[in-house]
Chain A
Amino acid sequence: MADNKIGVYICTDCGIGDSLDIEALEKVAKSELRAPVCKSHPFLCSDDGVQVIRDDIKNEGVNKIVIAACSARVNTDVFDFDQYLYVTERVNLREHVVWTQPPKTEPTQAIAGDNLRMGITRISKSEVPIPKTTDVERSILVVGGGNAGLTAALEVTGAGYKAVIVEKSPALGGWAKKFYKSYPVKPPFNQLLSPTIDNKVKAVEGNSNIKVHVNSTIEQIEGEPGMFDVKLKKDGAEEVFRVGAIIMATGWKPYDASPLSETYGYGRFKNVVTNMEMEELALKGKIARPSDGKPAQSVVFLQCAGQRDEKHIPYCSVVCCNVSLKQAKYVRESNAEAGAYIIYKDMRTPGIYESFYKATQDDPGIYLTKGEVRGIEEAPDGSLLVDIDNQLLGQDVRIKADIVVLATGMVSNMIPDGMAVNDLTPEYVGEWVVRKTQDGEIQELNPTPWTLKLKYRQGPEIPHLKYGFPDSHFICFPYETRRTGIYAAGAVRHPMDGLQSSNDATGAALKAIQCVELTAQGKAVHPRAGDATFPEFRLESCTQCRRCTVECPFGVLDEDEKGTPKEHPYRCRRCGTCMGACPQRIISFRNYSVDMVSAMLKSLDVPSEGEEPFVVALICENDAYPALDMAGINRMQLNPNYRFISLRCLGGTNLVWVTDALSRGIDGLMLIGCKYGDDYQCHFIKGSQMASERMSKVQETLGRLNLEAERVQQVQLAINEWDQLPKILEDFSEKLKGFGPNPFKGF
């Protein structure tokens, strides 16, 4: 590899030249940091300006390019140099300096100088990535042979890939096989449809690119994207094969209605059935009473039975209103004289389903009201007397029914049988066990291998959120998963109907294929899609402390018997949380390391005296960095005694930086990152939370230095909260003034 040669290019436009002493900046680059090439240009993002850089690349051999100009968020297409040949570093002089500071002052110049120092230091510690392409297996494992699984497999093959379906039951089709009819998803909305699941099953069975294993369960999955090794148990025998990515479409199960006995008479009265049992009745032909086979004249549907109810299922299962409308039509189609009553809390037929609701309302034999069940009695002839608080009429009514249908909800198959949605351990389904350690007794989670049985140090399944739904940051990026290359789809994720689960499965199919393709090129998937660097471990210095293997949000690291991390690089999402976790500083990327930030901290020109506290802020590059840009765009004035270092994620914050900063006389260290907790906003899931946990332990370090722990503070800031920045900075500064200057100043 050619020698490294740094070129520094300072743009003097957009107010930079009017605000700053450019000659002094050039001196910082050339004399102080000995950059071999340093030029300024009046309009660097012009063709002419970029040509200056290209000429230096060609003629001078510059391969590390420092652009000291505008924010790293703009002109990325202009300053675009091949990432495998050149390192490019953007030093923000515009938004973060001249647009937030008064022109031509010493403090403004000092920020610019420090930003340039940090930029040149950063680039000198940064190398181009070495492409790590690999042979991958491109076939996709689909776990579950219901509607979602079948769809995923078919969609995968539609794009030219192979799929393997593993289904535990003897046949494909899942719950959809048990439906008499389905409700319409497009006009005309007054007609029920014959289920189409058989067509899907046939399409799968006739597709030579799909291998189907029924009566099969997974024994173990080990490996990583592009190379997951699956061990299958099929008819008592084992089978082993390799896949590139995994779609978990294990679906749902009906809520066990037995706890509904008291309120609804389920189990006590023969003619009280669940909605799934109603499908069975319909499949038999006539809708007739289970107790004596008498054709039903009157059927009452009780919505939200055990749903939207903290004692049973706190959530709403989405489909039940449509299902009851559909089943009311079964009743009417089966017997034109029969009546159907739907008693609801709220009719939930969102979107286009409103038309189905309306079409059903047009049937005078279907009666709908908002109400609550007061009680159900059984008459001697087996019919049921249902007392309803009819809230629309404002009075109690008694309806005589041949059948009462309970609209019971859906439970994710993430949850093992026998466990309730309200009774789950955090993150991994399993049981608490008490373990004796040197420090006394600790409560530890013993995860239950249930579906995927991943051989991951962090647990055998995808982590779950509330009610057992598998993890995902589910608004902007519905396929963001903590297990790279493994995507949940369909009703296992949360309640959804067949249409939505087909759409979802198609999305998961895309993500599975995409993960395989990016893995083959040695590139990261979202959110750092395309990043071609990998963490590197100097294992000879590892002390087996296991912090990295515990803290990696994506379960990249397994352990050998001693606790040394065993890396699975293709699971990695490049956030750097492992790097922040490691007390030995053995983990680094070619373009991102603990040493790099330490060196940047050391490069700062920390004032040896002065009234105003000097602060370094570590900021998240996705949210806090743009928020600072917005402060600049709005020309907000910020405290000039802050220096900002952007990190991929606050999760990369290493405690050694605290010592590095404070032992150099920096008065305070601030961390600005995403919100954490239940509604976390960190796209590396736990980075900002991890940082805060680490910072809570900083006391000890600071105690050794005889410094106040409050000199380190973490702030949660959303990307659109830039208006709060001036106050946040001022407040911390004021607080630091109370402690007086850092005694290490001037050392």
Chain B
Amino acid sequence: MSDNKSILVIGGGISGLTTAIEAAETGYNTIIVERNPYLGGRVAQLNRYFPKLCPPYCGLEINFKRIKQNPNIKFYTMAEVENISGKEGNFTVQVKLNPRFVNSKCTGCNMCVEVCPVERPNSFNFGMDKTKAIYRPHEMSFPMKYVIDSTACPGTQCSKCVEVCKYNAIDLNMKAETLQLNVSSIVYATGWNPYDATHMDNLGYGKVKNVITNMMMERMAAPNGPTKGKIVRPSDSKAVKTVAFVQCAGSRDENHLAHCSSICCMATLKQATYLRDSSPETKAIMYYIDLRAPGKYEDFLKKVQASNVIEMIKGKVAKIEEDSETQDPILVVEDVLGGKKIRQQVDMVVLATGMEPSIKGKGTGVQLDENGFVIADGQQAGVYAAGVAKSPNDVMTSLQDATGTALKGIQSAARR
């Protein structure tokens, strides 16, 4: 069954991994091109999945194992697609491999980090802590190779890491390379970025110190996060007693994201369980437009409601300000059912920011809808999309889709 031409999967998040692995296990060659220095994408940053509250790393571990033992799969990290030409069955794809400055001889011994004198904000943890300029993206990152942030590293004038590395694994002069791939089909599994919360002036993100996003909350709750799993507020690292969740922060709003991001209600309910687990006295309030816990997820909504950790108020948050003395955020909310305005002071606010397709505005030549999602059946033959690149969905739905997309890729190979 093996085909000499591969299916190219752009994006090594959970959807891209699924498409690539499922196709490879069916007997087809696949190539993953991932921009980050590690595979796993957004879910690698999640503490737990709803509704089972299990760690995404369990599934990633299985998927990485499937990659390791399957010769049909090739992957490139720190790689970006620069140009695509050709047609189904015969695409030529130019890929830029950005320099990692660390080669395959890296054993992951950590000596370089110990001597590196420079720090950088840790992007994996949304800047809530720091790593050295040479770093491991996170403990479980795959591939288990270190990487240098060239914007932070002083380069050859320092070279402390080069000197300490016994394996000649660090090359500060590493240059970007270009790679030409010949593939039969292309799958965009480019996923999403959290919507930039600074765009919502009224919600105070970036100005009110104790306003964070739901993705930051995931990192904070994670045992390997910036606070080692402790949920504390940024201004003074105090444990939080009252937390407000602001739903549809950017989503369902024509000035920001017109679509519903599908997952934010469930994500907030899940994060309420983080609060419950960290301290049973914590009180959470969720301000929502509609509670969207579709399908079987209704059970999770009921379970969280029953645990009394979270009060749910149908209302739109108009404004968030900071109490200058306590640095507590103060929310002004229009309580729809109560028919009144509420002023609520809390220790911390979590904005349930939505998913913005990463491919939006990239000018890749793929047909996008008005929200920036890849239109499912509007592409040239041999070009497909999987997961959130196509539609804002939860992990399970994205992976049903990603598995199906593997078959689409195979059909392109079979049609040649």
Contacts and interface: CB of A to CB of B under 8 A. Distances in A.
B215 to A, nearest CB: 17
Interface stretch (A509-517, A605-613, A688-696): A509-517
Interface stretch (A70-78, A289-297, A431-439, A443-451): A70-78
A45 B49 CA distance: 35
Contact of A354 (B140, B167, B260, B336): B260
A350 interface: yes
Given A46-B167, A350-B294, A478-B396, A526 B66 contact: yes
B214 to A, nearest CB: 16
B28 to A, nearest CB: 10
B403 A478 contact: yes
Interface stretch (A152-160, A218-226, A273-281, A661-669): A152-160
Contact of B410 (A159, A495, A518): A159
B140 A476 contact: no
Chain A interface SS verdict (over half)? loop
B59 A475 contact: yes
Interface string B29-54: 00000000000000000010101111
A75 B142 CA distance: 11
Contacts of B395: 475-476
B25 A503 contact: no
A623 B62 CA distance: 9
Interface string B374-416: 0110100000000000011101110111111111101100100
B166 A13 contact: yes
Contacts of A475: 49, 52, 54, 59, 395-396, 399
Contacts of A155: 404, 407, 411
Contact of A630 (B14, B52, B139, B411): B139
B262 A351 contact: yes
A43 interface: yes
A46 B406 CA distance: 35
A308 B414 contact: no
Interface residues of B, number: 89
A509 B391 CA distance: 21
Contact of B337 (A317, A391, A477, A529): A391
A721 B223 contact: yes
Given A160-B414, A354-B252, A507-B407, A496 B295 contact: yes
Contact of B407 (A14, A74, A318, A513): A513
A737 interface: no
A346 to B, nearest CB: 4
B294 A318 contact: yes
A719 B61 contact: yes
A14 B109 contact: yes
B290 A348 contact: yes
Interface stretch (A20-28, A207-215, A230-238, A675-683): A675-683
B400 A507 contact: yes
Given A186-B376, A494-B296, A529-B66, A718 B54 contact: yes
A514 B22 contact: yes
A718 B376 CA distance: 36
B401 A507 contact: yes
B27 interface: yes
Nearest to A514: B26
B336 A722 contact: no
B345 to A, nearest CB: 25
Contacts of A505: 404
A525 B23 CA distance: 13
A141 B122 CA distance: 51
Interface stretch (B127-135, B152-160, B365-373): B365-373
A409 B291 CA distance: 18
A497 to B, nearest CB: 10
Contacts, number: 243
A479 B407 CA distance: 14
A191 interface: no
A478 B400 contact: yes
Contacts of B224: 630, 720
B399 A720 contact: no
Contacts of B229: 723
Contact of B26 (A517, A527, A634): A517
A347 B66 contact: no
Query: Counting chain A CB atoms within 10 Å of each CB, which of B62, B261, B402 scores highest?
Result: B62
B237 to A, nearest CB: 19
Interface string A722-734: 1100000000000
Contacts of B228: 723
B26 A513 contact: yes
Nearest to A489: B400
What bracket does the count of chain A residues touching chain B fall in? 35 or more
Nearest to B375: A186
Given A352-B259, A517-B1, A527-B62, A478 B399 contact: yes
A308 B295 contact: no
A530 B63 CA distance: 13
Contacts of B397: 500, 503
B298 interface: yes
B118 interface: no
Given A74-B144, A76-B68, A155-B407, A352 B391 contact: yes
B52 A681 contact: yes
B55 interface: yes
Contacts of A681: 52, 54, 58
A503 B404 contact: yes
A314 B222 contact: no
Contacts of A623: 58, 61
Interface string B1-16: 1000000000000100
Nearest to B51: A679
B280 interface: no
Contacts of B69: 76, 529-530
B293 interface: yes
Contact of A476 (B26, B59, B262, B401): B59
A193 interface: no
B14 A476 contact: yes
B259 A351 contact: yes
Query: Counting chain B CB atoms within 10 Å of each CB, which of A503, A513, A633 scores highest?
Result: A503
Contacts of B199: none
Contacts of A511: 22, 403
B296 to A, nearest CB: 5
Contacts of A514: 22, 25-26
A267 interface: no
Given A13-B107, A494-B296, A510 B22 contact: yes
Interface stretch (A466-474, A546-554, A574-582, A583-591): A466-474
Contacts of A495: 294-295
A475 B300 CA distance: 14
B138 to A, nearest CB: 10
Given A494-B295, A511-B22, A623-B58, A476 B260 contact: no
Given A14-B109, A527-B62, A679-B54, A394 B400 contact: no
A699 interface: no
30 contacts: A14-B108, A76-B68, A158-B411, A158-B414, A315-B296, A316-B295, A346-B291, A350-B292, A350-B392, A352-B391, A352-B392, A370-B336, A392-B337, A475-B52, A476-B395, A479-B403, A495-B295, A503-B400, A505-B404, A507-B402, A511-B403, A513-B410, A514-B22, A518-B25, A529-B70, A622-B58, A626-B57, A679-B53, A683-B58, A720-B57
Given A314-B298, A466-B299, A500-B397, 17 more contacts: A74-B144, A76-B69, A348-B292, A355-B259, A370-B336, A476-B59, A479-B403, A506-B405, A506-B407, A510-B403, A510-B406, A513-B410, A527-B62, A630-B224, A683-B62, A719-B55, A720-B222
Interface of A: 13-15, 43, 45-46, 70, 73-77, 155, 158-160, 186-187, 308, 314-318, 346-355, 358, 370, 391-392, 394, 466-467, 469, 474-479, 494-496, 500, 503-511, 513-514, 517-518, 525-527, 529-530, 622-623, 626, 630, 633-634, 674-675, 679, 681, 683, 718-723
The 3 closest A-B CB pairs, nearest first, are A476-B59, A506-B404, A507-B403
